[in-house]
């Protein structure tokens, strides 16, 4: 069983989004996603300051098995990226909800995201 936390929201494409309460949000991939991909060996991140439009692929996580895109939940501006992933991409496996976060961003309108219960349904239906 994969871990789904109720302190944050989710997308259908297996990202999680956490409201930091200071006008920024943190984004990563879910436990279900990292489990499907397997051992992570490379994470390609955008640059701080990049402006990204909703639904575009703005990070790539690569496991031994496959490369997988990470999608922007809304129009957003990247304010920080997790630089420790450059040397330790495996943090996405070992700590996908904490140390393995991908980017922090600002967004005017985050739109509708999934609650943990709704995301659980997405996972169950796969």
Partner 1 sequence: MNKTCLNSQHIELGGKMVDFGGWEMPLNYGSQIDEHHCVRNDAGMFDVSHMCVVDIKGNSSQDFLRFLIANDVKKLTSKGQALYSCMLNESGGVIDDLITYYLNDDFYRLVVNAGTTEKDLDWISKQSEEFDVSINHRKDLAMIAVQGPNAISKTYQAIPGTEEICRNLKPFHAVSIGSLFIARTGYTGEDGFEIILPEKSAEFTWKMLIDTGVKPCGLGARDTLRLEAGMSLYGSEMDDSVSPLECNLSWTVDLNDKDRKFNGKDALESLKSAGTKYTVSGLILNDKGVIRDHQKVITNQGEGEVTSGSFSPTIGKSIALARLPKESSGECNIEVRNKLLSAKIVKPPFVRNGKILV
Binding site for partner 1 (CB under 8 A): 38-39, 41-42, 44, 60, 62, 64-67, 86
Closest to partner 1 by CB, 17 or 40: 40
- CB of residue 80 to partner 1, shortest distance in Å: 20
Question: Running DSSP on this structure, what letter comes out for residue 124?
Answer: H
* Cα–Cα distance, 55 to 95 (Å, whole number): 25
Q: How far apart are CA 8 and CA 90, in angstroms?
A: 22
Nearer to partner 1, 69 or 111 (CB): 69
Q: Are strands 57-63 and 15-19 parallel, antiparallel or unpaired?
A: unpaired
Of 12 and 60, CB closest to partner 1 = 60
Of 35, 21, 9, nearest to 100 by C-alpha is 35
Minimal distance, residue 62 CB to partner 1, in Å: 5
Minimum gap (Å) between residue 87 Cβ and partner 1: 10
């Amino acid at each position: 069983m994969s871990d789904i936390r109720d302190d944050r929201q989710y997308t259908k494409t297996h990202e999680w989004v956490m409201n930091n309460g200071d006008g920024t949000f943190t984004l990563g991939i879910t436990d279900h996603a990292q489990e499907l991909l397997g051992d992570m060996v490379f994470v390609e991140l955008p640059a701080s300051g990049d402006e990204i439009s909703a639904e575009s692929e703005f990070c790539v996580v690569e496991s031994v098995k496959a490369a997988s895109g990470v999608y922007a939940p809304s129009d957003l501006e990247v304010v920080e990226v997790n630089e420790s992933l450059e040397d330790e991409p495996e943090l996405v496996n070992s700590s996908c909800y904490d140390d393995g976060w991908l980017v922090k961003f600002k967004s005017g309108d985050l739109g509708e995201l999934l609650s943990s219960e709704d995301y659980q349904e997405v996972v169950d239906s796969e």
